[in-house]
């Protein structure tokens, strides 16, 4: 169980990035955080990963407070961030340095097979396409078998076709060991394809504005009416989250009133 | 330093970019083409001197230079002078590289050290290094000490600057990958920082070595009883221009070889580089 207790973050330069964020995430749950740019999504993810520490509040994983990066928490960034001087296989095995060589080789080969890049094991990262590089980054994060996997707009730099392909691929990989996924995105469709619950954030300071359940059956049909319904609801929430204060009280939208009847 | 390097880098561009180019005009033809001007000049001078149209005393024709070179090599003189000069460069290069690497790495890594030492070092760098010679001779004597110190100073600055710049410009995002995988400080240096600075480090070493060869000439011109620089001075004082040119040729050859050694030794470590020329070949 991953818990955020009143997490706030103010940067040394005075930017108030997060204000009292509280969340409870069950093991194996897929949480997607959406919000306009500058709403503190990435800051929140970095606080959970231990790369940054909150100014106030705490992040707790299974009763242990997280202050530094942990082995149980993996992170995937917006860019693949592969180390250019290591082969693809060595990149995937980067987090397994303390394991015996035979085990490392076996787990790397298995992970590469699962992301469909076995034939690229010995090439340099520069020879991969953007989508392939991001798949290697996913394999690298999953190989140490983390309990929680954080993804910071992982597919935003890819073209639409590669993006949908990788979203499906991520779900396929997730289904294996079912880690908790927390994904940050500004792509609403991506949020609905992946999430069990969607959190819409609003900026200045970053706060959770609305929680929207997205418990559609998997695999999800991007064309279905239910999908479309959740999409409109998220879009409406996003719209309101970015609106000026005068409009924030006006929370009843068509989507809201119809929330109970979408099926 | 740059002749072979240039032809190696240019070649794939020419081959892949201009598919319409006539087959056969590849690497070798280009090399031959580049030799046309020097060969024609040398042969022309040789013929002019042979025909008695020019006096070859101050500008010796190639045959005389070659004969002098062969004579020096046969008597073992050339090897002895090369060995002395090369050992001086090697010692100075080693000292300059070690101090430059250490100080550059520390200054690149710690802003405090950089603020403390860098202004002083930059001020010292502004002094033309030859200006140190009288002081070095007073401090370290007329023999090896002052020469090796001068070479070390010449090597130190490009290495220091190159390493400091390289460490400072390591991609923060890759360092963050190291943090996310909980690397210890030592592992962070070994697995992220060192490989990341290596390409820039090789360039720093090569420019340091180039300056090392430059300063060994300065040191030997200012007073030496052996070494290629001594051959230069000796040739001047005894009016033997062929000996001077032979020593210059020897400098060019061993300078190029030493640069090659660095390139060849580090090439296997840099195969991963996403270079402009590598990309062209891949296309």
Q: What is the Cα gyration radius of chain A?
A: 19
Domain B61-273 has CATH 1.10.3720.10: yes
Query: How far, in Å, CA of B60 to CA of B49, rounded?
Result: 9
Residue B159 has pLDDT above 90, yes or no: yes
Q: What is the CATH number of the domain that holds A209?
A: 3.40.50.300
Residue of B nearest to A74 (CA): B180
The answer to whether position A204 is within a domain reads yes
Interface test with B, best of A68, A84, A92, A127 (most B CBs within 10 A): A84
Contacts (Cβ under 8 Å, ≥6 apart) of B145: B136, B139
SS (HEC) of A23-53: EEECCCCEEEEEECCCCCHHHHHHHHHCCCC
Residue with tokens 């001197």: B49
Contact between residue A1 and residue A62 where contact means Cβ atoms under 8 Å apart: yes
Residue B276: pLDDT band with limits 50, 70, 90: low
Contact between residue A71 and residue A25 where contact means Cβ atoms under 8 Å apart: no
Query: How far, in Å, CA of A65 to CA of A79, rounded?
Result: 28
B173/A70 CB distance under 8 A? no
Q: What is the ipTM of this complex?
A: 0.81
Chain A to chain B Cβ contacts (< 8 Å)? 48
> In angstroms, how far is the first alpha carbon of chain B from the final one?
28
The answer to whether position A176 is within a domain reads yes
In this prediction, residue B97 carries a pLDDT of 95
A86/B272 CB distance under 8 A? yes
Chain B interface, Cβ < 8 Å to A: 173-174, 176-177, 179-182, 187, 191-192, 195-196, 198, 271-274, 278-279, 282
B274/A86 CB distance under 8 A? no
Tell me the backbone φ, ψ of residue B241, rounded to 5 degrees: -60, -30
Residue of A nearest to B270 (CA): A85
Query: How far, in Å, CA of A136 to CA of A80, rounded?
Result: 8
Contact between residue B34 and residue B10 where contact means Cβ atoms under 8 Å apart: no
Structural domain including A73 reads: 2-81+152-261
Number of domains chain A contains: 1
Q: Does A213 touch chain B (CB under 8 A)?
A: no
Contacts (Cβ under 8 Å, ≥6 apart) of A41: A33, A34, A35, A152, A153, A184, A201, A206
The answer to whether position A6 is within a domain reads yes
Q: Does A125 touch chain B (CB under 8 A)?
A: yes
In this prediction, residue B24 carries a pLDDT of 52
Interface test with A, best of B178, B181, B266, B275 (most A CBs within 10 A): B181
Q: Does A79 touch chain B (CB under 8 A)?
A: yes
B173/A77 CB distance under 8 A? yes
Note the pLDDT tens digit of each residue in A224-262: 887 788 888 888 888 787 775 444 444 444 444 444 444
Residue with tokens 């100014």: A55
The answer to whether position A146 is within a domain reads no
Domain boundaries, chain B: 1-54, 61-273
Residue A56 has pLDDT above 90, yes or no: no
Contacts (Cβ under 8 Å, ≥6 apart) of B247: B81, B228, B229, B231, B232, B235
B182/A71 CB distance under 8 A? yes
In this prediction, residue B138 carries a pLDDT of 92
Contacts (Cβ under 8 Å, ≥6 apart) of B156: B95, B96, B99, B100, B208
A85/B272 CB distance under 8 A? yes
Please spell the DSSP secondary structure of A98-117, one letter per residue. Answer: TS-HHHHHHHHHHHHHHTT-
Note the pLDDT tens digit of each residue in A137-153: 988 988 888 888 999 98
Tell me the backbone φ, ψ of residue B212, rounded to 5 degrees: -60, -45
The answer to whether position A143 is within a domain reads no
The answer to whether position A121 is within a domain reads no
Select from A85, A125, A127 the Cβ nearest to the Cβ of B195: A85
Enter the DSSP assignment of A220: P
B46-49 contacts: CB < 8 A, separation 24 or more? none
B182/A83 CB distance under 8 A? no
Note the pLDDT tens digit of each residue in A77-119: 988 999 999 889 889 888 888 888 888 888 888 888 888 888 8
The answer to whether position A200 is within a domain reads yes
Residue B116: pLDDT band with limits 50, 70, 90: very high
In this prediction, residue A155 carries a pLDDT of 87
The answer to whether position A108 is within a domain reads no
């Amino acid at each position: 169980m991953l818990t955020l207790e009143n997490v706030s973050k103010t940067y040394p330069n005075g930017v108030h990035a997060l204000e009292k964020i509280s969340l409870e995430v069950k093991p194996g749950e897929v949480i997607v955080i959406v919000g306009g740019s500058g709403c503190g999504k990435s800051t929140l993810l970095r606080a959970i990963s231990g790369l940054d520490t909150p100014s106030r509040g705490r992040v707790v994983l299974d009763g242990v407070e997280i202050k530094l990066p942990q082995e149980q928490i993996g992170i995937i960034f917006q860019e693949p961030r592969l180390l250019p001087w290591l082969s693809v296989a060595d990149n995937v095995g980067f987090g397994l340095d303390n394991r015996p060589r035979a085990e490392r080789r076996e787990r790397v080969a298995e992970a590469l097979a699962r992301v469909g890049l076995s034939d690229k094991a010995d090439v340099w990262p520069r020879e991969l396409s953007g989508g392939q590089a991001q798949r290697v980054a996913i394999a690298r994060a999953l190989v140490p078998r983390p309990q929680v996997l954080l993804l910071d707009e992982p597919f935003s730099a890819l073209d639409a076709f590669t993006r949908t392909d990788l979203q499906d691929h991520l779900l396929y990989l997730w289904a294996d060991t079912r880690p908790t996924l927390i994904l940050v995105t500004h792509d609403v469709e991506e949020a609905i394809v992946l999430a069990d619950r969607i959190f819409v954030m609003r900026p200045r300071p970053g706060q959770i504005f609305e929680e929207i359940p997205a418990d559609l059956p998997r695999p999800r049909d991007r064309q279905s009416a239910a999908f479309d319904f959740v999409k409109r609801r998220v879009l409406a929430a996003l719209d309101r989250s970015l609106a000026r204060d005068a409009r924030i009280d006006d929370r009843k939208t068509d989507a809201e009133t119809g929330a109970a009847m979408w099926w | 330093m740059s002749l072979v390097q240039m032809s190696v880098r240019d070649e794939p561009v020419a081959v892949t970019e201009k598919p319409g180019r006539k087959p056969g005009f590849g690497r070798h033809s280009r090399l031959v083409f580049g030799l046309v001007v020097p060969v024609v000049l040398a042969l022309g001078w040789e013929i002019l001197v042979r025909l008695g149209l020019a006096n070859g005393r101050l500008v010796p024709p190639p045959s005389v230079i070659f004969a002098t070179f062969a004579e020096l090599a046969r008597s073992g003189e050339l090897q002895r002078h090369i060995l002395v000069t090369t050992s001086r460069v090697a010692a100075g290069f080693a000292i300059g590289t070690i101090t430059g690497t250490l100080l550059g790495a520390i200054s690149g890594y710690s802003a405090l050290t950089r603020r403390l030492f860098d202004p002083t070092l930059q001020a010292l760098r502004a002094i033309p290094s030859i200006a140190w010679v009288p002081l070095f001779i007073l401090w370290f004597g007329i023999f090896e000490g002052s020469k090796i110190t001068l070479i070390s100073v010449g090597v130190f600055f490009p290495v220091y600057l190159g390493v400091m710049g390289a460490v400072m410009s390591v991609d923060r995002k890759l360092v963050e990958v190291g943090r996310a995988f909980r690397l210890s400080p030592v592992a962070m240096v070994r697995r992220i920082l060192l490989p990341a600075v290596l390409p820039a480090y090789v360039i720093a070493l090569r420019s340091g070595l180039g300056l090392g060869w430059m300063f060994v000439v300065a040191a030997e011109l200012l007073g030496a009883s052996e070494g290629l620089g001594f051959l230069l001075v000796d040739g001047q004082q005894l009016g033997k221009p062929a000996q001077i040119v032979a020593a210059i040729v020897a400098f060019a050859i061993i300078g190029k070889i030493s640069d090659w050694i660095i390139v060849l030794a580090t090439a296997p470590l840099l195969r991963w580089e996403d270079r402009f020329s590598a990309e062209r070949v891949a296309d």
